[in-house]
Every structure is written in structure tokens, then in C-alpha cells.
Amino acid sequence: MPGAPSALHSARKAAGDMLDQQGLTLVACSGGADSLALAAAAAWHHQRTSGPSATARVGGIVVDHHLHPDSVEISGRAVSQLKDLGLDPVRIYPATVRSDSPLGPEAAARTGRYQAFREAMQDLGATRIMLAHTKDDQVEQVLLGLARGSGTRSLAGIPAARGPFRRPLLDLSRADTESICRHHGLDWWDDPANADPRYLRSKIRTQVLPYLERELSGSIRESLARTAKIAAADADYLESQAKDVFPALLEDPDHTGALRLKLKALRAEPPAIRRRVIALAVAAAGGPNPSFERLSATEKLVTGSRSAGPVELEGHIRVHRGARQSPDYGKLVIVPPSG
């Protein structure tokens, strides 16, 4: 298209690669520049009459968190622009945001948002949802991971694909999405919360990153985005190795549903694999991904701690080492909540 920013062509290609050619893909739109730019890129495929994406169906979902006094007007304007772009169907879904969430307002909003996404997929028969995270979001996520000290997977940042969710714009910047919006004459909304330093991510965006660019390197964003790609490849490989090892170390569960891992073989695995196998066993027992502290305490049961446990994990999962002269000797036992 003459005069179109180069970012638009990149966005169209990335969106096309992630569309479900056989089903309905929804674009999640907040009314901000990132999500409107993604909607414009996806809509181009929706409107095509020839080529590999000619049959692609693209709709839109606007999630209203009701956290801003003008949220109804903002959501309505987003819906109008999505329809003008040709997306169909387009719906608004409310998000339930618990004000008393122990995880804080950002996590509470995210939980409510993803619940709305899944509800929309079920109601509309969609198979995928596209989310408009950009390179800037990725960089912020890497810094959050560094601050939390939470390992390779956290440094890998935001995945391009997980379950039904796709993120085509991770190689584009916010400046790119704004140029796409200007090209299409789209009127985006700047959420004031994005610049509010009371929120950790906003503080990273408005204070930490500008400081690092000024004092450390003007190319810090590119460096952190590259770190995320390298860490993601490493994490994917280690997780695939752990998934291959896990079945060989796992014994058949008994009537209580408890899982047992062969202790000697688990101890022989490299730490990076061993920790991931333990996490897989915890997930198989119905627990959430264990924190680093709880996972480290569990690993000590494997590597020679005098204590045989139990170690209490999140989700009421208990882990202990089998006692001598018991049927569980030489095994790491993961007991589910009902066990």
C-alpha cells in the first residue's frame, strides 16, 4: 500500500501467520494504539478475497474493566472502530476485578480480563485470541522477571503463543503501533494508569527504563528484547527435556492419587532438569507452579537433606521423602490436596 508505514506490513504478516485459517480469531482490543493497530493488521486478512488468508474470520472483543469513569464511552468508541475496520463479530465483555485481591490491582485486572476472554471464546465459538503485546511490553516483562529473580522462563518474557492466545506484535514497538493507527486514521486512547508510578509496570515504563537508557545504554530495549528471545529458546529446550524425562521417573499413582518419583534417578538429573521435573509432578498432582523458595526446599529432599519433609507447597500439595523400611523408601512422594 503506497504510503503505508513499514511497520504495517510487518504487522500484517505477523498477524496472518497467527490467524486460525479454519476458525474464528478474536482480536482483544482496549482502545489503545497497540490493540487498534493489531485490529487493523488482522482486518486486512479478514477482508481479503484471494490468497492463503482469504477465508480467515476475524472478530473483536473489548473488555471493560469498569476501572475508569469513562469506560463505557471508551469501550463504545473501540467497538465502533473495530466495526469500521470490518471485524465481525464485535462484542463488549465486562471483567470482574476483585478490589480485595491479595495479588494487587494489576494481577486482579489481568485475572478478570482472561476470564472474559475465555467466556467470549465459548460464546462466539472462537478458537484463538490475538493480544497486542509489543516489544515494549516484552522489555518491561524482562525487567520484572529480573526484579523478582524468578528464573529463565521469567526472563523469557511474554510468549508469542500459549494455549489459544497469540501475540503477533512482539517485534514491533509502541511507536510502530501509533504509526499504524495514524495511517488508518484510528483514534486511540491513552490509559492514564500506564503512566501512574503507583503500579510497578508503569514505574518501569516511565522511570526505570528511561534511567537505564540515559545512564547505561541507549539500546537497552533492544538488548532486553534479545535476552527474552534467547531465554525463551533455552527455557523451551529445558522444558522439553524435562517432559521427556518425567514419565521415566514417575511410578503409577496409588488409590490416594499420590505421585511417586524415583529418587536416585531424579537426583542424577542436572539441577535445571530436576527442578522442572518436580514442577511437572506438582502440576500433575493438581497444584500450581511452585515458587522458587518452595521448589528449592523440595529439591533439598532429593539431594540429601536430613529432613524427609513434608514440604508444604502452594495449592495444599505436600511433598516428602519415603522413610526407611516403608514401601515409599527411595521415592519422592507428592501428595495432592485430597491425599
32 is in an annotated binding site: yes
- Alpha-carbon distances, residue 126 vs 37, 89, 318 (angstroms): 20, 10, 38
In 54-173, which residue ranges form alpha helices assigned H by DSSP?
A: 71-84, 105-124, 135-148, 152-155
Structural domain boundaries in the chain: 6-220, 252-335
| pLDDT, tens digit (0-9, with 9 covering 90-100), for 207-239 | 999 999 999 999 999 999 999 999 999 999 999
Residue 315 pLDDT: 87
More confidently predicted of 99 and 195: 195
| pLDDT, tens digit (0-9, with 9 covering 90-100), for 149-167 | 767 888 888 999 999 999 9
CB count within 10 Å of CB 211 equals 12
35 is in an annotated binding site: yes
Question: For the domain 6-220, what is the CATH superfamily, name and number?
Answer: HUPs (3.40.50.620)
100 is in an annotated binding site: no
The CATH number assigned to the domain with range 252-335 reads: 3.30.465
7 is in an annotated binding site: no
Q: Which of 329, 330, 284, 337 is nearest to 313 (CA)?
A: 337
pTM over 0.85: no
More confidently predicted of 307 and 226: 226
With contact defined as beta carbons under 8 Å apart, do 171 and 135 qualify? yes
pLDDT at residue 3 tops 60: no
Q: What does the pLDDT average to over 294-316?
A: 89
- Answer yes or no: same fold for 6-220 and 252-335: no
- Among 25-39, 41-55, 317-331, the range scoring the smallest mean pLDDT is 41-55
330 is in an annotated binding site: no
CB count within 10 Å of CB 296 equals 12
More confidently predicted of 50 and 66: 66
Q: Residue 49: left (phi > 0), alpha (psi -120 to 50), or beta?
A: alpha
Those residues whose C-beta lies under 8 Å from the C-beta of residue 67, and which sit 6 or more positions away, are 97, 109, 193
308 is in an annotated binding site: no
pLDDT at residue 102 tops 70: no
